[in-house]
Structure 1
Amino acid sequence: MPTSTDVPFLNVIDPEFDFGSPEVMNAQARSWYADSPLGLLVLRYAEAQELLRDRRLDHNGRGYMEQSGVTQGPIFDWFVPMINNRDGDDHRRLRTLVTKAFTPRMINELRPFVRAQAVRMAEEIASADVSEFVESFADPLPLAVMCKLLGVPNEDYDTFRLWTNDIGLVFSIVHGGDIVARVEKAIVGLNGYVASLMEEKAKNPGDDLISTLITVQRAEGQVTEDELRNLLVTLVFAAHDTTCHQLSSAMVVFSQHPEQWNLLAERSELAHKAVEELIRWVPSTPIIYRCATEDFEYGGLQVTKGTFLTMCVQTAQRDPRVFAHGDTFDITRTSPAAPLLFGAGPHYCLGAALARVELAEALSSLAERLNPPTIAGPVSWRPPTGIHGPNELPLRFVARAR
């Protein structure tokens, strides 16, 4: 292991920081970990994958909030007890409820709806000179799918949309500014809205996820109503924001690799591989954190209890020790290892299958109808340490000849 003076330092709270930059990849070549203002960064794939499964680490939502300067209030009250931050039997109890309702059959039944929405939006983009892609496609597609899944009425989309965008900034609180106020407003709004929706679904159940979860919750009594509301707010956060930013980041990548876009248009069977390559190359969640529950030694490094370790997902997924030519974007790649984006072990993302369906249907619908995107104006980005992707993305597409 390198001595302390040889350990790389990476300033991840710099708004311009890039987890795929030459600086970061050089640090990865020197060491499996680096230091940062947020603590230790895990840079290599093998170590990140192993530590995500290590039972000596947990999520410590309380510690993460306190480290970010939030010790009370709506954000704290939602974040600390959320399912993502629970472990062991407590986590299994909540996860079991969701898995009984969030079934492969439910996801498969959503696929035609996803396809129809993606085709309609692609047609609208085809008729425009320049499209603001986040507003016209990346945001409304997963929002429509999520609302369909949960049973949110169409007339509530616009209100819901603002909250679900802002709640995803919870992992960027360290960057300051108006982020805390925006996240807090989103949580208060979503808590109230979800509570009223739960009340309505309890009286008039429908063919949607909330109705199913309420039925299971009341029949089994293992989860309280407060826990169910927190769970639903968390599902809203996870189902919309991450997919939105994954889609918009994908368009930036394809604007840089138009030959890959054209290959996808020619070979629609590559849609699945294109999705896997995109979540490897530009994951919308570029970091995942864990906290040490005890003192231990790992890879020559003494880790003390309470230390946060941040798995650098984007960096690790380009690790040349695992991914041959990992520094290139190639939608024909057969990946030798599972993406870290969706986590690992008991906390593997419940929505991974749905996210893949949405991304595959979106990419194939766009590539079939449109030529490669070109960026047509300034692009602003979310902070690199949270859910990451463009806030605004003006694109010019040219419709393919029919």
Structure 2
Amino acid sequence: MTIAIGDLQLPELPIDRAEFALDPQRFLEPAREQHPWLARFSKGFVVHGHQAARDLLFQDDKMGPHFAGLVEHFGAENTGWARFMIEQMATISGPRHDRLRASVATAFTPRRANQTRPLMRQVITALLDEWAPRGRFDFAEFASYFPITVMCGLLGVSAEPVRGIRAALDAQMSCMTLDRDLLPTILEAFELLWNFADSVIVEREASGEVDEDSLLDALIASKNNGGLNENELRDLLISMLLAGYDTSKNELTMTMYHLLQHPQMLERCAQDAAYCRKVIDEGFRHSSVVSPSRTLDTALDYDGIHMPAGTYLCFALPMTGRDPAAFPDPLRFDPDRSGGARPIPFGRGTHICLGQYLARAQLEEGIHLIAQRLVAPQLDGEVTWRPFLAVWGIQELPIAFTPA
């Protein structure tokens, strides 16, 4: 026997309010007492249980990413941003999704991620050479330059122009907060990103130069061979820049925040690269930053609950790693922990994060060298937080330290 999801007496989680981003646990613990894995929020339902998220995210045949629904939510039909949101690889499923994903998949294999480690070390070393002598800075701002510069290296384009569009990259991701007041900023940001991608592609094609190691040149070749059209090429470049900017910098900042509270762990990171891998894994478990949304295309029954087509589900992956039913003592940050379930910070199913191996590798390399160069770092001001919806994380993390 099933009960309709709309008839359930569920707790309310204010995941779209600032106070939730500041301290999710304060709201989550009493919510779990009412229901072990499901809650309501202002726009739909929140899946916060680990096993439920694992099971439901794998049912790609019954749901799809909510990006297309955002266009209707914002009333932004017939805009360039609307076309991008509806047609981008992260939105679609089926043969076209598989074709677009295959066009970039070889750049994000575990082997390619490991081959990119020298570039990662080069990038983070250059950033530390620039920033470490200051003795104090906002770590979140510092971190924002690292993954995007690595991604530019993979693409084979200069990172300098990309640094100037960081605000546009942030604004594009802000659409997931569902704040309608942000629409003018989102549309302006997308136009900037589109023009940037277009100019980079046109300039590269006009140069006649081809770099065998450049992902951008590989995408252009795919377009020339009929594998991509002009919009798909530009959409993929924008998607790669977004993927190389937001989530990794937030996860790096969040991990540093935890290490500031455990200085002995940070000292060990400076000496032990293998331990850095465990720290990053624990960071993904304890405080991942992405909460993907899905809309049901067809009705679905799960755990005695009937969810009709059109149901909007937000998968609160940062909270699934803190599920006491899946992880012993889940609030404790412990890189040496054993047992428990396998976290799902990158999602599941067809739309699992394509760049997960690259993200892990660059965070491992980053923490290892950061720990060597920033001695005895401490908080040096107020920590501020980003909205929980979209990509959660720390907006400002001021630190002071002794430069090595």
Q: Which amino acid in structure 1 is aligned with residue 104 of structure 2?
A: V
1:190 corresponds to which of 174, 189, 193: 193
What pairs up with 1:25-36 in 2 under 5 angstroms?
Answer: 25-31=29-35, 32-36=37-41
Structure 2 length normalisation: TM-score?
A: 0.90
Deviation at 1:251, TM superposition (A): 2.0
Q: Which amino acid in structure 2 is aligned with residue 208 of structure 1?
A: S
Q: Structure 1 unaligned segments of length 5 or more: list them.
A: none
1:146 corresponds to which of 148, 151, 174: 151
Partner of 1:373: 377
**Whole-angstrom CA distance in 2 between matches of 1:392 and 1:140:** 14
Q: Structure 2 unaligned segments of length 5 or more: list them.
A: none
Q: Contact between 1:58 and 1:291, CA under 8 Å: does it hold in 2?
A: yes
Q: Contact between 1:260 and 1:330, CA under 8 Å: does it hold in 2?
A: no
1:71 corresponds to which of 59, 77, 90: 77
Q: Which amino acid in structure 1 is aligned with residue 215 of structure 2?
A: L
The 1:267–1:346 alpha-carbon spacing in structure 2 relative to 1, beyond 3 Å, is same
**Whole-angstrom CA distance in 2 between matches of 1:140 and 1:116:** 13
Structure 1 length normalisation: TM-score?
A: 0.91
Q: State the SS of the aligned residue for 1:396.
A: strand
Q: State the SS of the aligned residue for 2:292.
A: strand
Deviation at 1:44, TM superposition (A): 0.5
The 1:375–1:82 alpha-carbon spacing in structure 2 relative to 1, beyond 3 Å, is same
Partner of 2:88: 82
**Whole-angstrom CA distance in 1 between matches of 2:93 and 2:32:** 30
Deviation at 1:278, TM superposition (A): 0.8
Partner of 1:278: 283
User: How many percent of aligned residue pairs carry the same amino acid?
Assistant: 29
1:165 corresponds to which of 164, 170, 195: 170
**Whole-angstrom CA distance in 1 between matches of 2:270 and 2:24:** 27
Please say if 1:302 is aligned against 2:306.
Answer: yes
The 1:196–1:350 alpha-carbon spacing in structure 2 relative to 1, beyond 3 Å, is same
Partner of 1:9: 12
Partner of 1:99: 105
Partner of 1:223: 228
The one-character-per-residue Cα deviations of 1:360-394 (angstroms, maximum 9, x if unpaired) are 01111111233343221233322111112223221
Q: State the SS of the aligned residue for 1:397.
A: strand
Deviation at 1:317, TM superposition (A): 1.0
Q: Which amino acid in structure 2 is aligned with residue 91 of structure 1?
A: H
Q: Contact between 1:51 and 1:57, CA under 8 Å: does it hold in 2?
A: no
**Whole-angstrom CA distance in 2 between matches of 1:215 and 1:361:** 31
Q: Contact between 1:271 and 1:364, CA under 8 Å: does it hold in 2?
A: yes
Q: State the SS of the aligned residue for 2:188.
A: helix
**Whole-angstrom CA distance in 2 between matches of 1:68 and 1:127:** 45
The 1:383–1:3 alpha-carbon spacing in structure 2 relative to 1, beyond 3 Å, is closer
Q: Contact between 2:292 and 2:390, CA under 8 Å: does it hold in 1?
A: no
Root-mean-square deviation over aligned CA pairs = 2.3
The one-character-per-residue Cα deviations of 1:244-294 (angstroms, maximum 9, x if unpaired) are 111122222222333332343353321111111111212121x11111112
